[in-house]
Amino acid sequence: MSIRVGESAEAATFPKAAKKLLANTQLRRNVRRATDTIRNKRAKVVGEMPDWEQLRTAAQQIKQRTLRNLDSYLEQFEKACTAAGGKVHWARDADEANKIVVDIIRGHGQKEVIKVKTMTSDETRLNKALEAAGIAPYETDLADLIIQLGNDKPSHIVVPALHRNKSEIRQIFMDTMGLTELGHKPEDLAAAARDYLRERFLRVKVGFSGANFAIAETGSVCVVESEGNGRMCITLPDVLITMFGIEKIIPTFDDLEVFLQLLPRSATGERMNPYNSIWTGVTPGDGPKEFHVVLLDNGRTRVLADEESRETLHCIRCAACLNACPVYRQTGGHAYGSIYSGPIGAILTPQLQGMEHSTSLPYASSLCGACYEVCPVKINIPEILIHLRRKIVESGGAPMTERMGMAVAGFTLEDSGRLGAAQKLVQLGRQPLDALGLPGWSVARDLPAIPTESFREWWKNRGAR
């Protein structure tokens, strides 16, 4: 099996990557400014919904029901989509998925494909596979285009180029679009991207998209976006390929109502997305003549098998947890070594990729709970982080010093006499504290003066005083 999440298996550990990013003050300023803006917008539009909590619960329950019967919903989707003229492919892992896509494009003798935001294609490293097969992929989501042209990596689930500011984007466009002149206003940049993309929208015969939701009942696929470039990708080409993870299924069309209220408010702070595209199979004389769906597993059934963390698959990729996360706020998304960053990345990447590759991610959190508070599908991310830490410890993946420290601490805390003795040791000097790994602490923080008397000693002596 070639289950992978982009390059995460080779990525640096979180603390190492974070350390490097923390030195980049421009990037941190960009991240802070952007996340603050989205957070405030989200808070405002969520605040005006009196039934927000009920919507969250409804979404959570729909997702729970879906996951309990995922096998039958997937088959129902396949049946309905096929009946509507689509063709459904099942991909167990990244390589299978890439091969399916390459074969379809080759089968039509095409050498180019226009793409719109598909996180799963980053998971499978589809662009690399396409290029190796002599097929040129063009990203058309504005942010993804900036990433592609800048030879960069996405740092946010919804706003992949969030770490870039306007002048950096202008420079990337100047350098890669062969422009000698370009204005500084956002409109100027948008116009440049429009010129660059429109030519491709009209020329390229194959389109590729992801999906936000796939409806089992009708076999329909739904994509929501802000720019309209996705609409171009899914309507203009002759052949359309749509790839998504198997957890994107929802049972009925009615269920969509819940998610279309939650997603835009959580993701961009909008009441509704400017573009909501829903299509079912092929419609003769209108849109693509051929429609393929690639259902991607790539580790998802493995996540499904763990009851304690299964709810990770509820995620609708709104990125509210990223925008709320105080850790993400400092480092941005690249520290997570995966297309999935922030709190959801910290629990999703290790589970998909296999824990052994990303053992530092479940610790990339202070467990402050801000993510859980904003998650529109109520994923208890802190609880899952702890669950994953437990798995790492149980599989012997924790560092030796930590295991010893915890064993000693555990032994000490199981008996008040031992605790009293340990307190005496602490009072004698700072050695025992330092031995537990406090060097990291002392870089920027002083330790408090160690008291000469513990509380229990004070209590004991109290009567005597």
* 414 part of the interface to other proteins, by CB under 8 A: yes
Residue 182's CB is within 10 A of a number of other CB atoms, namely 15
Helices then strands, each counted (H, E), the chain: 22, 10
Instruction: Tell me the site size for ligand SF4, rule CB under 6 A.
Output: 15
User: Which residue in the block uniquely carries the two structure tokens 């679009």?
Assistant: 177
With CB under 5 to 8 Å by kind, the binding choice for 379 among other proteins, ligand SF4, none is ligand SF4
* 344 part of the interface to ligand SF4, by CB under 6 A: yes
* 49 part of the interface to other proteins, by CB under 8 A: no
Q: Give least dist CB 124 to ligand SF4, A.
A: 20
User: 9, 12, 22, 174: which one contacts other proteins (CB under 8 A)?
Assistant: 22
* Contact predicate 294/91, CB 8 Å: yes
Distance CA 428, CA 211 (A): 62
* Among 1, 12, 3, residue whose Cα is nearest residue 338: 12
Nearer to other proteins, 191 or 447 (CB): 447
Torsions phi, psi for 285 (to 5 deg): 80, 0
* 15 part of the interface to other proteins, by CB under 8 A: yes
Helix, strand, coil percent content, the chain, rounded in steps of 5: 55, 10, 35
User: 119, 318, 352, 385: which one contacts ligand SF4 (CB under 6 A)?
Assistant: 318
Which one of 315-323, 355-363, 394-402, 440-448 is the stretch in contact with ligand SF4 (CB under 6 A)?
315-323
User: 431, 445, 464, 465: which one contacts other proteins (CB under 8 A)?
Assistant: 445
Helix (H) or strand (E) run with residue 106 in it: helix 94-107
3-state secondary structure at position 296: strand
With CB under 5 to 8 Å by kind, the binding choice for 448 among other proteins, ligand SF4, none is other proteins
User: 3, 129, 319, 361: which one contacts ligand SF4 (CB under 6 A)?
Assistant: 319
Site string for other proteins, 362-391 (x = CB under 8 A): -xxxxxxxx-xx------------x-xxxx
Nearer to ligand SF4, 80 or 319 (CB): 319
In eight-state DSSP terms, residue 297 is -
Distance of CA 409 to the CA centre of its chain: 35
Nearer to other proteins, 298 or 312 (CB): 312
Strand 213-215, strand 220-225: pairing: antiparallel
* 356 part of the interface to other proteins, by CB under 8 A: no
3-state secondary structure at position 343: helix
Say which amino acid occupies 344.
I
Cβ-Cβ contacts under 8 Å for 90 (sequence gap 6 or more): 295, 297
Which one of 216-224, 291-299, 369-377, 451-459 is the stretch in contact with ligand SF4 (CB under 6 A)?
369-377
Torsions phi, psi for 205 (to 5 deg): -95, -15
* Contact predicate 75/99, CB 8 Å: no
Q: Which residues bind ligand SF4 (CB under 6 A)?
A: 157, 266, 315-321, 344, 374-377, 379
Contact residues toward other proteins (CB under 8 A) are 14-15, 18-19, 22, 326-327, 329-331, 363-370, 372-373, 386, 388-394, 398, 402, 406-407, 409-410, 412-416, 419, 422-423, 426, 437-438, 440-441, 443-448, 450-451, 453-460
